[in-house]
Chain A
Amino acid sequence: MTDMFSLLFMQRALLAALLVGVTAPSIGIYLVQRRQALMGDGIGHVALTGIGLGLFFQTSPVWMAVVVCVAAAVVMELVRSRGNQSGDIALAMLFYGGMACGRLLVSKAPGASGAGGSLDSYLWGSILAMEDSDVVTIAALGAVVLAVTLGLRRQLFAVCQDEEFAKVTGLPVRLLNLLLAVMAAVTVTVAMRVVGVLLVSALMVVPVAAAQLLTRSFRATQALAVAIGVLVSVGGVVTSYQADVPPGSAIVLLAIACFAVFTVLAAPLARRRYRDPAAVTGTELPIPVQSGAAAGSGGGKGLAQ
């Protein structure tokens, strides 16, 4: 067990897992809030074209994926903000086209032997394929994503909670939406080396889904989701090493197990929560009287208390 940590490739993989575990849920929460949980999945499909381009031109597949994913995310955001009905089909074309194009490019890539073992590592993640430059890239991009998702938490929360209201507060809503889409795209490329493009969205969504079973506030949900993300990512990489399975599968199955455990835990908690409001609802009738009194005394009553 301990010798695992002395291996250079495992040190890289664990560091990457840690970074991805923090980053993916911290942006995923906004997508879930906006009921766009599958957006990461769509970007993941398109990322394949970037990887294909990278392998075909023998440049960095990760950076190529960043470029292609950012472009795709901007298109997705523009389609979403227009809100027109054919948008759904347009997105479907984008996703399928991205996937097909990616596989095509990989098959024509120079030096790709057969179906390409390297493609497999992008699809499901790999702990062996990580290089120093990958870890540096993941750290740099992850830092940018975290700066945005944590630094602009209130602004992004407002935009995802109620876009029309956010506009009336004078926030640059269109810019924030684009920023969110671009950050989601960057996160997909950051996470893809560890969990793989096919499962990248799961790490953005499942920890959030699990966390919100136990929380009431957005802030606590984000914190707990990040904790779960780190736990399952690091746990998944360790499992991958021990059991010789792809890290993506291990990470996602661990996350789903976490969701299942939380579901069981949440049932008694929800019962208690429903009892709480019931107790307070009992005082609902006197409230108008209270506020009427507050109005009479110039509204200062509550502050004096």
Chain B
Amino acid sequence: MTQPTRPPAPVRLTAAHASLGGRPVLRGVDLTVAPGEVVALLGGNGSGKSTTVRSVIGAVPLTGGERELFGVPGARFRDWHRIGYVPQRTTAAGGVPATVREVVATGRLAQHGLLPFRRRDKAAVARALEAVGMLDRAGDGVADLSGGQQQRVLIARALVGEPELLIMDEPMAGVDLASQRVLADTLRRQVARGAAVLLVLHELGPLEPLIDRAVVLNEGRVRQDGPPAAPDHVHPHADRTQGLFA
């Protein structure tokens, strides 16, 4: 805000603390995602990766520290159309049948809110489905799709608003190889478009060439922050995370 010439960072967490059910999960996480930057959050189970992204979007309240989205304090942030979110999930289906198109259309609510869904929203849904190679399945029930295809639907749902920041929680988990390639292609196009990306990953895998910076979490703290292929020191849990940089 004080430097109007430089756009503010889409994500900035400063000394973030958060608890789940009274148990501290984040113990002072500093995390910044610059405009157009692709940041991977890595770490073992229980290291606080998912809690970090969920606190970025406000789903987990911070008990300490600060959160800013596009230079605006989290509590006052309203420009939700600038963010596309892909939650960690095993299924896109709810208790009632829904088509691929219906699920993806919910991603457009950031644009039309409580107003009616219009033709341009419909066109955006078709574009997002095309981007993940699911346009031919638009009328099918999401429950009838494979895990990888459901993940592609959830990514289309996040892309439908053409966000400036894409937040994805383990997008590659339980996804077949074909869908992984589609996801990597989709992500590449989003990065080329200039979107910033914050990704939670279990391992870098096929996305590695896209990633500018890897942040490794351990027990709710940042253990390492740097280019993905060059770990600058060996830490006590290297045996668990080193393989990620191979």
A residues neighboring B (CB under 8 Å)? 29, 32-35, 37, 152, 154-155, 157-158, 160-162, 164-171, 208, 212, 215-219, 221, 273-274, 276-277, 280-281, 284-285, 287-288, 290-292, 294-295, 299, 302-303
Residue of A216, A276, A284 contacting most chain B CB atoms (<10 Å): A216
B residues neighboring A (CB under 8 Å)? 54, 57-59, 78, 80-81, 83, 85, 87, 94-99, 102-103, 105-107, 109-110, 113-114, 117, 126-127, 130-133, 135-137, 139-141, 144-146, 149, 157, 161, 178, 181-182, 185-186, 188-189
Chain A interface, DSSP helix/strand/loop, else mixed = helix
- Given A168-B83, A221-B97, A285-B178 in contact, is the A295-B188 Cβ separation under 8 Å? yes
Once the chains bind, are A170 and B78 in contact (CB under 8 Å)? yes
Contact partner of B130 (CB less than 8 A), chosen from A157, A158, A303, is: A303
Contact partner of A171 (CB less than 8 A), chosen from B54, B109, B144, B185, is: B109
A277 to B136, CA, bound (A): 11
Once the chains bind, are B132 and A158 in contact (CB under 8 Å)? no
A294 to B135, CA, bound (A): 13
Once the chains bind, are B127 and A154 in contact (CB under 8 Å)? no
Once the chains bind, are B133 and A288 in contact (CB under 8 Å)? yes
Once the chains bind, are A217 and B99 in contact (CB under 8 Å)? yes
A182 to B107, CA, bound (A): 26
Q: 17 A-B pairs, CB-CB below 8 angstroms?
A: A154-B106, A161-B106, A162-B106, A168-B85, A170-B80, A170-B110, A212-B97, A218-B99, A219-B102, A221-B97, A284-B149, A288-B133, A288-B178, A291-B132, A294-B130, A299-B130, A302-B126
A212 to B87, CA, bound (A): 26
Once the chains bind, are B97 and A218 in contact (CB under 8 Å)? yes
A84 to chain B, nearest CB (A): 9
A172 to B178, CA, bound (A): 37
Residues of A within 8 A of B149 (CB): 284
Q: From A152, which residue of chain B is reached at the shortest CB distance?
A: B114
